[in-house]
Amino acid sequence: MTHTDQARTTTGQSGRPSITLGDIVLDTDDPPRLAEFYSALLGWPIIRREEDWWSIRTETGPQMSFQLALDHRPPSWPTNDVPQQFHLDLDVADLPSAVAYAQSLGATLADNSHSAETFVVLLDPSGHPFCLCSG
């Protein structure tokens, strides 16, 4: 079987190979702290604990991992001196309660001039922006 024939058998009718999201990785100077934050925020258990790599995951979905980056510089959103590069939008049923809960875990409000009635921008303990979104 040629490489082209093999590619056809693994791509199906559409020509797109089977690709699924397996891991979302955030750089941080404190992997345990960030894993504990997102574990508590999302209710996902911590499944891997190593010096430079911690992971959380649901039973059926992708996982989030937190990779040690000693020279990590938090994004300076919204000024963009240090680009945000990535952020999460997390859907919530009760926005005020979700914001209060995230803050109780160590999140801080970002420059809320960029928030709206349906979302609030926060920063996780390593400075990554994320949005809590309702409606």
84 in any annotated domain: yes
Residues 97-135 have pLDDT tens digits of 999 999 999 999 998 667 778 889 899 999 998 889 886
**Tokens 């508590």 -> residue:** 40
Q: How far is it, in rounded angstroms, from Cα 120 to Cα 95? A: 8
pTM of the model as a whole: 0.74
Residue 4 falls inside a structural domain: no
- Measuring CA to CA, which residue among 112, 113, 109, 107 is closest to residue 125? 107
Same domain, 83 and 135: yes
How far from 92 is each of 85, 97, 120, 131, CA to CA, in Å?
A: 23, 9, 11, 10
Q: Is 98 contained in some domain?
A: yes
The domain containing residue 31 runs over which residues? 22-69
CATH of the domain at 96: 3.10.180.10
- Are residues 92 and 44 both part of a single domain? no
Look-up of token digits 């919530």: 92
- Asked whether residue 8 is domain-assigned, the answer is no
Q: Do 85 and 134 share a domain, yes or no?
A: yes
Do 132 and 84 lie in a common domain?
yes
More confident residue, 16 or 5: 16
Among 113, 85, 111, 88, smallest CA distance to 98 is for 88
Together in a domain, 65 and 81:
no
User: Which pLDDT score is estimated for 47?
Assistant: 96
| Angle at the Cα of 78 from the Cα atoms of 103 and 71, rounded to 5 degrees | 80
- Residue labelled with tokens 């979700």: 98
- 93: amino acid identity, one letter: A
How many domains are contained in the chain?
2
Confidence at 6, pLDDT banded by 50, 70, 90: very low
On whether residue 60 sits in a domain, the answer given is: yes
Question: Could you tell me the CATH number of the domain that includes residue 35?
Answer: 3.30.720.120
Query: Exposed e or buried b for every residue in 114-130, given b needs 16+ CB within 10 A?
Result: ebeeebbbbbbbbbbbb
pLDDT digits (tens, 9 = 90+) for 77-101: 888 899 877 788 898 988 899 999 9
| Tens-place pLDDT, residues 21-63 | 778 999 999 999 999 999 999 999 999 999 999 999 998 888 9
